[in-house]
């Protein structure tokens, strides 16, 4: 009898974590490596948030809490949804988890039955299809090409929906492409969804605050109130508040779904860290003025990276609306030969050869469901970005 669960046959380890680990290994071995693989802001957690955590420790707020979050954090989340998204929730419609990742996982575990289909626009965040498969469902990727800004088109959505469709997972601004849906683009999708009452909407708004050039963020339940009763709006403090290590994510949704998610959480991890929850209260209720400051830096970095990558031979890099990723095509390099003699047959070869010869770590597009391309996270200092882009230019220039 096999020792490991058959569920493991349905999932693969995260490609983004694998690249980060490989880059760390090469660095430890003394190589000069620039890691553009990992998806977290390089900025430190703001001081007022850290202080709130210190105060929580000193005040002894270090015990178990309610599984689905302390009332103070739920209140801060309710106020956030009202203030920023025009969404009205009650405390029994809110859950707090250990990162946005756990919240998404809870929702899929709580709702997926064998054979249930989940529509996932590709390129997608690596964890969506894996979580769906682990829950016993069928991920249904729908490829969204650069021609349409990597965005799902209404006709493609309509074509992907079947009687077995349980969820669609939307992510805007997107990891991995940075693409974000305008109000009109999102409305065109919610118009389709209104006609299919069996389909629930899981919207991953983790990058809500990271938008540039006056882009206005909107979320499906805000645009289409008819979808409110079948939408789970997922968000978190990891990206906007530079709190990736604190592990706090949350969601608003129908009470019955939230209760089911809390049941899953109660039998797996219980409450998220009490100290992190108090820090998140301060993040959501406290000053928000550092966000535009960070965004100015991110926008400059995006512009730098897009411009330098478009000067690399065989690379074509669209300029996305948000997040801190770009998703250039490397189609123009496929079939070429590197100085090592290695033929670049696909994007995995491209990123492996780039890491080995130039010490730049990026993630292959095929891991996100659309290649040949690669993802760069530009949440790192300008001098490293500039040097990395120079190395990519040199790498591409040396392909024959």
Ligand X SMILES: Cc1ncc(COP(=O)(O)O)c(C=O)c1O
Summarize as ranges the residues that interact with ligand X (CB under 6 A): 39, 99-101, 125, 171, 175, 204, 206, 236, 238, 244, 249
Q: State the minimum distance, in angstroms, from the CB of residue 200 to ligand X.
A: 17
Q: State the minimum distance, in angstroms, from the CB of residue 40 to ligand X.
A: 7
Q: Which is closer to ligand X, CB of 238 or CB of 333?
A: 238
Q: State the minimum distance, in angstroms, from the CB of residue 84 to ligand X.
A: 17
Q: State the minimum distance, in angstroms, from the CB of residue 121 to ligand X.
A: 12
Burial 299-313 (b: 16+ CB within 10 A, else e): bebbeebbebbeebe
Burial of 83 (0-12, 13-18, 19+ CB in 10 A): exposed
Q: State the minimum distance, in angstroms, from the CB of residue 287 to ligand X.
A: 21
Q: Which is closer to ligand X, CB of 218 or CB of 238?
A: 238
Q: Dihedral sign for Cα 46, 99, 37, 20, please.
A: positive
Query: Quick one: how far is CA 57 from the chain centroid?
Result: 30
Q: Which is closer to ligand X, CB of 85 or CB of 333?
A: 85
Burial 13-25 (b: 16+ CB within 10 A, else e): ebbbeebbebbee
Q: State the minimum distance, in angstroms, from the CB of residue 105 to ligand X.
A: 9
Q: Which is closer to ligand X, CB of 176 or CB of 359?
A: 176
Q: State the minimum distance, in angstroms, from the CB of residue 360 to ligand X.
A: 20
Burial of 215 (0-12, 13-18, 19+ CB in 10 A): middle
Q: Which is closer to ligand X, CB of 174 or CB of 190?
A: 174
Q: Which residue is nearest to ligand X (CB)?
A: 99
Rounded-to-integer distance, Cα 319 and Cα 304, Å = 10
Q: Which is closer to ligand X, CB of 326 or CB of 338?
A: 326
Q: Which is closer to ligand X, CB of 204 or CB of 349?
A: 204
Rounded-to-integer distance, Cα 29 and Cα 350, Å = 22
Look at the chain and count its residues: 400
Do residues 341 and 379 make contact, with C-beta atoms less than 8 angstroms apart? no
Q: Dihedral sign for Cα 173, 310, 142, 192, please.
A: positive
Q: What is the largest CA-CA distance in the chain?
A: 64
């Amino acid at each position: 009898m096999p020792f490991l669960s058959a569920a493991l046959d349905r999932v693969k380890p995260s490609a983004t974590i694998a690249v980060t680990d490989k880059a760390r290994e090469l660095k430890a071995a003394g190589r000069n490596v620039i890691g553009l693989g990992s998806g977290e802001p390089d900025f430190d957690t703001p001081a007022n948030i850290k202080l709130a955590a210190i105060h929580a420790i000193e005040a002894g707020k270090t015990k178990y809490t309610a599984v689905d979050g302390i009332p103070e954090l739920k209140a801060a989340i309710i106020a956030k949804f009202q203030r920023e998204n025009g969404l009205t929730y009650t405390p029994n419609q809110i859950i707090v988890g250990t990162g946005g990742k756990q919240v998404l996982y809870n929702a899929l575990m709580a709702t997926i039955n064998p054979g249930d289909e989940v529509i996932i626009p590709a390129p997608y965040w690596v964890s969506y299809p894996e979580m769906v498969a682990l829950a016993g469902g069928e991920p249904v990727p729908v490829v969204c090409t650069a021609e349409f800004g990597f965005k799902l088109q209404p006709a493609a959505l309509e074509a992907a929906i079947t009687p077995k469709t349980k969820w669609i997972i939307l992510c805007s601004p997107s990891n991995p492409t940075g693409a974000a849906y305008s109000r009109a683009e999102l409305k065109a999708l919610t118009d389709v969804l209104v006609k299919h009452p069996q389909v629930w909407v899981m919207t991953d708004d983790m990058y809500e605050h990271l938008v540039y050039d006056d882009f206005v963020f909107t979320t499906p339940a805000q645009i289409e109130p008819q979808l409110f009763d079948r939408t789970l709006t997922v968000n978190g403090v990891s990206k906007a508040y530079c709190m990736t290590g604190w592990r706090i994510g949350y969601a608003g949704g129908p009470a019955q779904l939230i209760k089911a998610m809390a049941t899953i959480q109660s039998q797996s991890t219980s409450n998220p860290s009490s100290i992190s929850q108090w820090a998140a209260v301060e993040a959501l209720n406290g000053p928000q003025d550092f966000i535009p400051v960070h965004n100015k830096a991110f926008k400059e970095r995006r512009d730098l990276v897009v411009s330098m990558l478009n000067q690399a031979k065989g690379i074509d890099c669209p300029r996305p609306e948000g997040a801190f990723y770009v998703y250039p095509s490397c189609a123009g390099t496929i079939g070429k030969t590197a100085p090592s003699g290695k033929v670049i047959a696909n994007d995995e070869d491209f990123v492996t050869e780039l890491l080995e010869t130039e010490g730049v770590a990026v993630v292959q597009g095929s891991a996100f469901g659309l290649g040949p391309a690669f993802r760069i996270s530009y949440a790192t200092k300008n001098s490293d970005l500039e040097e990395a882009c120079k190395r990519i230019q040199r790498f591409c220039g040396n392909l024959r």
